Amino acid sequence: MTVLPQTDILTVNQLKAGFGKVEVLKGINLKVREHEVVALIGPSGCGKSTFLRCLNRLHEETEGAWIEGEILLRDKSLLGRGQDPVEIRSQIGMVFQKPNPFPGMSIFENVSAGLKLRGIRKKSVLENAVESALKQAALWDEVKDKLKAPGTSLSGGQQQRLCIARALAIRPPIVLMDEPTSALDPISTAKIEELIHVLKKDVTIVIVTHNMQQAARISDQTAFFLLGELVETGLTTQIFTTPKDSRTEAYVTGRFG
């Protein structure tokens, strides 16, 4: 069987970002390949979440925030003039640290919300898309008989999988996850990790995690951030066993951070 070479889906060149006079990211360069899971690790406050939010233009939603450099989705510049951040977010989905189902909306309405924003109203199309996304998020069997129930009625782990289904419903090629299991119990965390393994067949995932064991379990590539700089990136096995930079070794072995 011929194995096709993976291609870069996301390219970041000299990305700088911050708030007012404070520079949070200091010239980040990173390539992300299709159908891989990339874990962003590093101490709190080192710029991981800011970097993640830059990728789908959420960073700029904060007053005083700024960004410069280059982000390419395949060959398309995401920071170019005239780029619609809403359209970019349909290509690069986001799952946040705490589950955030839309209040007052049913499970079905939560998953279909992005589709409706894009003007899709046909009932059969919405029903098929919702079922497909919930199956992808390994939630369909648990909720198929109560799609009209509030999204907030689900358990914490189910709510996070609902948010993953919501991100998947518009079929983005990339999904960003900002510590998606930090607020969950170990059983729910294991389900999300198992789900990530399955999802990378369909999407590319960039995940921020403070859990070194989780990064080692779920990611193909790992990028180590420190004080706004990308210190080192490489295969996860290499980063955790034979890192090239002494600062990376000190962090992954628990000597600081």
User: Which domain, by its residues, includes 161?
Assistant: 8-252
* 238 found inside a domain: yes
Residues 107/154, Cβ–Cβ less than 8 Å: yes
The CA distance from 188 to 163, in Å, is 14
Has residue 2 been placed in a domain?
Answer: no
Give residue-wise pLDDT tens across range 81-124.
888 998 999 999 999 999 999 999 999 999 999 999 889 999 99
User: Is residue 257 one of the residues assigned to a domain?
Assistant: no
Place of tokens 């983005």: 172
pLDDT tens sequence across 163-215: 999 999 999 999 999 999 998 999 999 999 999 999 999 999 999 999 999 99
Residue 112 in any domain: the answer is yes
Q: pTM of the entire structure?
A: 0.94
Flag whether 166 is in a domain: yes
Contact 222, 239 (CB under 8 A): yes
Nearest to 31 by CA among 55, 49, 67, 2: 55
Task: With H, G, I as helix, E, B as strand and everything else as coil, classify residue 228.
Answer: coil
Residue 168 belongs to a domain = yes
Distance CA 79, CA 89 (A): 13
Give the count of domains, the chain.
1
Residue 39 belongs to domain with CATH number: 3.40.50.300
- For every residue of 139-177, DSSP letters joined together read -HHHHTT-TTSBGGGS-HHHHHHHHHHHHHTT--SEEEE
**Are the C-beta atoms of residues 4 and 27 closer than 8 Å to each other?**
no
**Taking a C-beta distance cutoff of 8 angstroms, is the pair 193, 213 a contact?**
no
The residues with which 22 forms a beta bridge, in sequence order, are: 19
In a domain, 3, yes or no: no
Residue 213 lies in a domain: yes
- Give 2's pLDDT tier (boundaries 50, 70, 90): very low
Single-letter amino acid code for the residue at 16? K
